[in-house]
A and B are shown apart, each in its own frame.
Chain A
Amino acid sequence: MSVRTIMLGWEFPPFISGGLGTACYGLTKAMGRMGMEVTFLLPRMNPVRISGGNPETVFELESGLPNVRLRPVPSSLIPYGKYGPRSPARRLSATELESLCGGPAPYGPNIREEVHRYATRVLQIAESEQFDIIHAHDWMTFPAGIALAAHSGKPLVVQIHSTEFDRSGEHVNQYVYDIERHGMHAAAKVITVSNYTRNIVINRYGVPPEKIEVVYNGVEASGEVLSRQEAPVRKDLDRVVLFLGRITMQKGPEYFLQAAKRVLEKEKNVKFIMAGDGDKLYGTIEEAAWLGIGHRVFFTRFLRGADVHRVYQMADLYVMPSVSEPFGIAPLEALQHSVPVLISKTSGIAETFRNALKVDFWDIDEMANKIIAVLRHPPLQEALRVNGRREAVRFRWEDSAARVHEIYRRVLNVA
């Protein structure tokens, strides 16, 4: 039997700001290709527009996605809070900056209303849909998922791409935590993107272990990636170490900077590029200046499309110093671009990926030690590049989709 799924997500290409959108897109596309019917309810798509780009219609988006229908839900929900990259770049006032420092992940003042409004609209739209199972991605859609399950009598599966503890450390937003917890307990199954996250769900949210399934993310096989030989970027004598991700507490930018300082004590010709936006951006720029390495650290802000390819082509090493990373697709993407990776041990990817260097995010000396080793020893860089790339392409969304299908069948008891 073919399972019909109604999926509640909150970002989808071309509007992506991070791993969540990439993951929803990859998983949904693969499910569709496997013949599963998916109706994806997406906040705010009336009409879809890329700022400064060409208008794009729902129809065009769907054309690359067999068996998938996209339905817009008028809503202003924004993932990662209001300083996610979708918000226009602008300088923050001093008070705004201050209010962000050390606080919980910044969501707009009307977030509760928005989450509620989204749920109401999802119920209305779903009236006209036929489905067997509800699949909700991350907390903002959980109230909608719970309401829809109660209304329709269909089972709910929630998927955890990140928890409030990943995003905010110990300073959790109680409101968000409560919604997450409620969603996990109301669901028939909880899918996590790693054992790392599964343990958080068990220990912090009190969910019974047998209810939680791990489904690793995949990575889109991208045909357009240029090989390094044909890369148009001329490399100067400086070696480049890359940080690419949101510049937030979760991603550990300050550890990257401190390691950079240690590296520069031993190696002169190294540049550090930090690509991304986030509530810690300005603090990080200041920190680089304080450490006296401002002339060696470059901030690009959020990069898209060709710029992402270009920065990867410049890089000798990609570093992901995350404090807490539920999965970590970015290192796999770096490897697709043939850039070797150094990743935090507190990440989902570190538990299953072998051909990467791994480090505790707080162990600055060890991080610097490994960065220097990659820069100094070409055989190491080459081995990590070749073996890592070979391993990265094995993370396929088709396998994730097959696992999800398996979980659906168990929930629906049709095995």
Chain B
Amino acid sequence: MATIKPKPPVAFINVPYSSRYERVYLAFIAGAAAYGLVPTAAVRDPSSRFQLERIYELISSAQYSFHDLSWMSLDRKPPRTPRLNMAFELGLAVSVSRSEGAQHEWFVFDTVPYRLDKALSDLGGIRPRIHDRSPESVLRALMNALSRRANQPTFANLMDIYREVEKSGQEIKRNYSLDLFDTKPFADLVYAANKAAQQYIPSLAE
């Protein structure tokens, strides 16, 4: 009789797609993989379907989502506008988590303490996890959000995994894509992050 393996838990990563956030993006991929999650993001599965439908499906099929709302500035191209996608996707995740029978946990991240109280007062009383856009601070924020019953990674393990993912990103840039916020680089980085977790979390490497 064939055994059916349970599907691995998926984590939706919602960060600004900007070179300024590349290390944050890599840290979320490395961190999610270090906790045994399969990262997914809006970069995945580009198709002719409506963007909204596609993102809703990605979020609703994920058990966890990480929302970095720290990009609050206006862009330079006239008319100067703020990026509202991250906040919108958080709204979708909140909605998914509140639907009947849903198993979805969402987490909010920012770089400035108490700023969200002003920018998104509907989240009043909810304290985002704070980081300073360094990989170390993102990984520490993830450590405060996640824990594992078995194969718990240490901070040193997380940093080793991050370094290998960062090197993989450099190789991808050298070989075929300068933009890591794209479908194929994302899948390759997720695979590399999982391999790094198998290597650097001692209980998994045994």
> Does A pair with B?
no
Interface of A toward B, CB cutoff 8 Å: none
> Taking beta carbons and an 8 Å cutoff, which residues of B are in contact with A?
none
